[in-house]
Amino acid sequence: MAIVHNQIHDSLSAQALAFAKANFLLLIFASVLARALYKRYASPLRHIPGPVLASCSRLWKVWSTYSGHTELDHIALHQKYGPVVRTAPNEVSFGSTNAAKDIFAVGKGFHKTMFYSVFPPKHAPDIFTEVREWKHAQMKRYAVTPYSLAQMQKRSEPIEGMIMSLMEHLTNYSINSGKVCNLGNLLHYFAFDVLGEVAFSRRFGFLEAEVDVEGSIKNIDDVQWYDGIVGQIPEFDILLRNNPLRPYLPFWKPNPTTMTRIAVEELEKRKQPDGTFDSTGIDLLAELLRAHEGNSEKFSVNDVFSIAHGAVFAGSDSTASTMQSFFYLVLNNASVYANLTEEINKAQKAGELSEIVTYAEAQRLEYFQACLKEAMRIRPAVGLGIYRNVPQEGVEIDGKFYPGGTQVAVNGWVLHRDKTVFGDDVEVYRPERWFERDAKFMGSHLYQFGGGSHLCIGRNLALFEMNKALIQILREFEITLVHPGRPLQYHSTFFVVQEGLEVYMKKRSQK
């Protein structure tokens, strides 16, 4: 009997194997379909509305990021489905500022997802890309002081030197009033060189040559393109950029970016014969090295490198993007431009502005501050929603419970269009809203630099730099758009990278 049973079992196994071989593709399709249906209908998030594709796979997010305008997709989703949208099988996007407060709250236990794991350099994650919460907190503790506003004030001289250099380049365009000036590019070059001065006491040479040195800006954009897209499916990173076979393949060897190479060079320059480092100076690298000297066990040389390197990678594109948006929005609105220049002219005539505008003087120009906040509201520098894991035990967000295993995010472009906070005309660039409504309340719901425990550590440098440079340009030049009303070309697989801000410059003394 046992023999017959074994024969039947073997026969069934053989038939099953034969069926599988003959219908291999059909079985693959059936298993994928079954998995997708399970994710859509058996998930604890099944009641949350969203695109059908997003409920059963991450392909919707990959495609949306690849399109280069994922922020517009998220705005459209929330307009269609409401304040809570399912954007992937285990991911939820929130469009309300109440939800943002819960997600950004300090001590709630939201942890980084594997999205961050694809960012280079792999061996030296910085404050943004470090996924280990204890390590992130440790690094941030030693970097807070070097990034403080007080320390930025100490670096005024090299930053002001870069501002004067920018003024010289703009003056060259103003000499011939018919010469087109790509102001967007110059602002991008300026932002990079400021980071060089702040981080390493070294100008990279972008502004001087008015070129993208060694294709560095394009290279960072390419890296962001990869990070943003593959970050949606980080498991695939092991097959692509971080493939363990890559170093052994001559046609696919990884090459360090220009900015990575410079960071390595600067660190090596300061290495002493006895193995210690020269930590004299006021730049970011020197301050980080001093922090390392006092806490070498908790704050390593590798940490010093990663934070200094990350400053250049993260700080240049975001600041440049905001300055480009500011000028695009102001110059396309004649009444805003007139009111802004009038405020600056009055302050100038009253002797309230130094030769190079100070940060404190800029803060007293209320209409300028409203213009800058409104630019950051309507066009935040980050287009991507960056997801976080909820605590394992689950969490309540905006009054509703979400179980462990859920990943949640907010998108600044969506949040900044919350009509309950900013008014009904959220799509309109109108600085006057900052005088008509509760400015403090609105300001607490601006997420240009993130929020709460996820606040960007480089925000002080960005604000310090923009407050000084933007007013200086408006004070010295009359500016008109070459193509009024023409939208800026841009894409955003992470930062909003813009092109097309072309203007005519005219020195005000020529008037």
Q: What is the pLDDT of residue 121?
A: 80
Q: What is the pLDDT of residue 3?
A: 56
Q: What is the pLDDT of residue 313?
A: 72
Tally of structural domains, the chain: 1
Q: What is the pLDDT of residue 389?
A: 94
Q: Which of 416, 418, 417, 411 is nearest to 383 (CA)?
A: 411
The string of DSSP codes covering 46-94 is: TTS---HHHHH-SHHHHHHHHTTBHHHHHHHHHHHH-SEEEEETTEEEE
Return phi, psi of residue 498, to 5°. -115, 155
Residue 46 lies in a domain: no
Q: Is the pLDDT score of 491 beyond 90?
A: yes
- Residue numbering of the annotated binding site: 456
pLDDT in tens, 442-484: 999 999 998 877 788 889 999 999 999 999 999 999 999 999 9
In the block, residue with structure tokens 């009359």 = 478
pLDDT in tens, 198-221: 999 999 999 999 999 888 889 889
pTM over 0.75: yes
Q: What is the pLDDT of residue 70?
A: 95
Q: Is the pLDDT score of 87 beyond 90?
A: yes
pLDDT band at 5 (very low <50, low <70, confident <90, very high): low
Q: Is the pLDDT score of 261 beyond 70?
A: yes
Q: Is the pLDDT score of 366 beyond 80?
A: yes
Q: What is the pLDDT of residue 16?
A: 59
Residue 463 lies in a domain: yes
Residue 468 lies in a domain: yes
Residue 490 per-residue DSSP state: E
Range of the domain at 178: 56-510
Of the listed ranges 116-130, 139-153, 242-256, 469-483, the least confidently predicted one is 242-256
pLDDT in tens, 17-71: 665 566 656 645 565 555 555 455 668 999 999 999 999 999 999 999 999 999 9
Q: Which of 68, 178, 83 is nearest to 489 (CA)?
A: 68
CATH number, domain containing residue 478: 1.10.630.10
251 CB neighbour count, 10 Å cutoff:
4
Q: What is the pLDDT of residue 250?
A: 77
Top pLDDT among 18 and 112 is at 112
Q: What is the pLDDT of residue 402?
A: 96
Residue 118 lies in a domain: yes
Q: Is the pLDDT score of 286 beyond 80?
A: yes
**Rounded CA gap, 336 and 374, in Å?**
11
DSSP lists the bridge partners of residue 86 as: 92
Chain Cα centroid distance, residue 399: 29
Highest mean pLDDT among 164-168, 242-246, 260-264: 164-168
Among residues of the chain, what percentage have pLDDT more than 70?
91
Q: What is the pLDDT of residue 182?
A: 97
Residue 114 lies in a domain: yes
Question: How confident is the model over 416-432, as a mean pLDDT?
Answer: 97
Q: What is the pLDDT of residue 511?
A: 42
Q: Is the pLDDT score of 510 beyond 50?
A: no
Residue 291 lies in a domain: yes
Question: How confident is the model over 112-117, as a mean pLDDT?
Answer: 91
Cβ neighbours for 403, distance < 8 A, ≥ 6 positions apart? 44, 390, 394
- Residue numbering of the annotated binding site for heme: 456
Residue 312 lies in a domain: yes
Residue 25 lies in a domain: no
**Rounded CA gap, 421 and 189, in Å?**
35
Q: What is the pLDDT of residue 8?
A: 54
Among residues of the chain, what percentage have pLDDT more than 90?
68
Task: Quote helix, strand, coil % in the chain, to nearest 5.
Answer: 60, 10, 30
